[in-house]
Structure 1
Amino acid sequence: MIRTVIALLALVSPLAAEAAAPRHLPTHNVQHPSAADWTKVVSLTPDGGIRMGNPNAKVKVVEYFSYTCPHCAAFATEGAGPLAQKYVRGGQVSYEIRVALRDAIDLTMALSARCVAPPRYFDTVGAIMGSQQDWFPKAIDYINANRDKLNSVDDTAAIHAMLANVGVEAMLAKQGVTPAALNACLASKPAEDILQKTTNDAWNVKHISGTPGFFINDAAQPDIHGWAQLEPAIQTAIKG
């Protein structure tokens, strides 16, 4: 992880101004819920994302997001809940999230979140994104004060300390992630490779203009940046 973190550190400072304004998931078989609640079905997808809902849903929503993107945090707070409860639960819509990395903190949070059990993944993302304005400035301060430790050959301990310092480790602990498991996730090359793949797909293959970047049934939605715009597009797709 160290080489990737060091390469991305240069991106942290520009993103700080924006933010000041307003273990690899295991593959598992999809089980149909006993009741008609598809929000309980969460699975790893071949494209490196994590999907909630009916894999055969008529409407498939994909979001490319960044943990350090304030607009993504706004959608996680305002849109993810209504999307799940109004559209995913009944099976008409599936919701998949894929990471589009922008900086070193982003990578750390993404690796950490993938440490939780699949059914708890979306709740974990929601908790991290919901408190972004609190932990992100603290993480920047930690990096600025601990660059030597982060530049060391074994940076996992320093990164783990940052997660504890900003309160994210406590969030993960509530989801059943032990300190030892977190260390393993931070050092997971397979998980990092998946995140690099989704990032490359987002920026260099699909050419999203920014985060969050939405797709409905594989069609890019470049003019959609929030729930107020996304919901009507979902309703149109359901009727179509």
Structure 2
Amino acid sequence: MTKTVFRAVALAACAVLSMAAAPKGTAPRKGLPAASTNWAAATAVTADGSHRLGNPDAPLKLVEYVSYTCPHCAHFHKEADPVLRLTMVPKGQISVTVTNFLRNPIDLTVAMLTNCGDPKRFFVRHNAFFASQDKWLAKAEATNREQQQRWYQGDFPARMRAMASDLGFYDQTASWGLSRAQTDQCFANTAMLDKLKGQQGEVQALGLQGTPSFTLNGDLLDGHDWATVSKAITDKQAQQRAGNI
């Protein structure tokens, strides 16, 4: 996709998705399992429609603001997974929350699909789209002007159906057992669309300029890569051990 087209896409997304953020957070939990619990499968949907993985009372709480069309986000995902989701999350040391940073209509389409179906399977769908990002991004870059025009004509479900068809997303959802008709129903989910719009208000309130972006225990990190996050985690753990926070 040309720089001109991507610029137009980003501007269109910003114009449509500039909305006030819904509050993030969940009510305190009671009767949590013992510390020996494996938290790898503990998932929850937060008030603004983001998805959290891990112990809700973990001493470290990481929020990732990600764009599915961002190669740096896919690279971060590949680097961070072995440490976060496969090591620290199961032990209850950290929770990871994914919030959408929508830069363009393709981001919106993928976000609607990762939220399509059982919420407990969100991270399976999330991981799948990042794992296959190079393939469907290549298709996006190879589309012609006539195809791209379909992404901007008609209502939102029609636009998303066009993108899903052009980029092979129906094949992805079919592998999850969803028919084309069921996938199209997800594109028509106005409640989810509103939640995704709300998340963009939070992105704007934080002044985020790039993807991926992160907060750790509410503090915005000054960096967009695993090296930044890894150092912040190490520093925060050292402060907690010293009793400074």
Same topology, TM > 0.5? yes
Task: Give 3-state SS (helix, strand or coil) of 1:89's partner.
Answer: coil
* CA–CA distance in structure 1, aligned partners of residues 233 and 153 of structure 2: 47
On the 8 A contact 1:33/1:41 being kept in 2, the answer is no
Give the superposition deviation at 1:146.
Answer: 2.4
Does structure 2 conserve the Cα–Cα contact (< 8 Å) formed by 1:209 and 1:222? no
Alpha-carbon distance change, 122 to 33 in structure 1, aligned in 2, over 3 angstroms: farther
| Pair 1:11 & 2:6 matched | no
Aligned to 1:43: 44
Q: Give me the whole-angstrom Cα distance separating, in 1, the residues matched to 2:86 and 2:63.
A: 16
Change (3 A) 1:123 1:9: same
1:123-167 deviation digits (Å, cap 9, x = unpaired): 211111122121013134447332454454356356335324423
- With normalisation by structure 2, the TM-score equals 0.77
CA distance in 2 between counterparts of 1:32 and 1:178 reads: 38
- How far apart are 1:66 and its partner, in Å? 0.4
> Any stretches of 5+ residues in structure 1 without a counterpart?
1-7, 14-26
What corresponds to 1:85 in structure 2?
A: 86
Question: Which amino acid is the alignment partner of residue 153 of structure 1?
Answer: G
Residues 1-240 of structure 1: matches in 2 within 5 Å? 10-11=8-9, 36-142=37-143, 144-147=145-148, 149-153=150-154, 156=157, 159-202=160-203, 204-223=204-223, 225-239=224-238, 240=240
Distance 1:108 1:10 in 2: 16
What secondary structure does 1:176 align onto?
A: coil
Q: CA RMSD in A?
A: 2.7
Shift of 1:54: 0.8
Work out whether residues 213 and 221 of structure 1, in 8 Å CA contact, stay in contact via their aligned partners in 2.
Answer: yes
Q: Give the stretch that moved more between structures: 226-235 or 193-202.
A: 226-235
Paired position in structure 2 for 1:22:
none
2:109/2:163 contact within 8 Å kept: no
The separation in 2 between residues aligned to 1:208 and 1:104, in whole angstroms, is 18
Contact (CA 8 Å) 2:152, 2:159: kept in 1 or not?
no
Change (3 A) 1:66 1:162: same
Pair 54,228 (structure 1): closer, same or farther in 2 beyond 3 Å:
same
Q: 1:142 to 1:87 in 2, by over 3 A?
A: same
The question of whether the paired residues in 1 share the 8 Å contact of 2:37 and 2:91 is answered with yes
Q: Distance in 2 between matches of 1:187 and 1:216?
A: 34
Determine the structure 2 residue equivalent to 1:19: none
C-alpha spacing 1:186/1:9, structure 2 compared with 1 (3 Å): farther
Given that 1:124 and 1:171 are in contact with CA atoms closer than 8 Å, whether structure 2 keeps it comes out as no
Distance 2:228 2:175 in 1: 33
Q: Please state how far the C-alpha of 1:111 moved relative to its aligned partner.
A: 0.7
Please tell me the residue identity of whatever aligns with 2:37. Answer: A
2:234 is aligned with what amino acid?
Q
**Aligned partners of 2:233, 2:92: CA distance in 1, in Å?**
13
Query: Is the 8 Å Cα contact of residues 221 and 228 (structure 2) preserved in structure 1?
Result: no
CA distance in 1, matches of 2:144, 2:127: 24
Provide the C-alpha distance between the structure 2 equivalents of 1:80 and 1:116, rounded to a whole number of angstroms: 23
